[in-house]
Amino acid sequence: MRIAVTAQGTDREAKVDPRFGRAKYFVVVDTESGQLEAVDNNVNLNAVQGAGIQAAQKVAALRADAVLTGNVGPKAFTALQAGKVTVYVGVVGTVREALEKFQAGQLKQATAASVEGHWL
């Protein structure tokens, strides 16, 4: 299983970035192999609009099965659903802690967006 965590840095000790669309990095961890990949989200960080949608597309393209983050807006949530990526919100701490909680089944799957959209 591949888990994407929105992060402010590129490794397991990086803090979880509470923003989904405008997260600094996506840290993707393969739970079987333990392999870690960090993807820069700089393009979306500075996007005028549609950052959440683009980010969802990126996460889906990274073949993530789930994403762990702080908040997800309505358009990003719709896009993640279309990409068959399950969403976990309200995640805090480091990437390592987030993954541990996820594997211990302590995170709750989101069934809707956790925040309002921007402008639209």
Q: Cα–Cα distance between 100 and 49 in angstroms, integer?
A: 33
Binder to another protein among 57, 70, 114, 115 (CB under 8 A)? Answer: 57
Look-up: residue for tokens 């073949």? 63
Where do we find the tokens 């960090």? 38
Decide if residue 86 touches another protein (CB under 8 A).
no
CA distances from 32 to 3, 36, 63, 69, 107 (A): 11, 11, 14, 21, 19
Q: Which is nearer to another protein, 79 or 91 (CB)?
A: 79
Is 116 one of the binding residues for another protein (CB under 8 A)?
no
Residues 15-54 that bind another protein (CB under 8 A): 47, 49-50, 53-54
Q: Identify residue 90 by its one-letter amino acid code.
A: G
Positions that interact with another protein (CB under 8 A) = 47, 49-50, 53-54, 56-57, 60, 75, 78-79, 82-84, 119-120
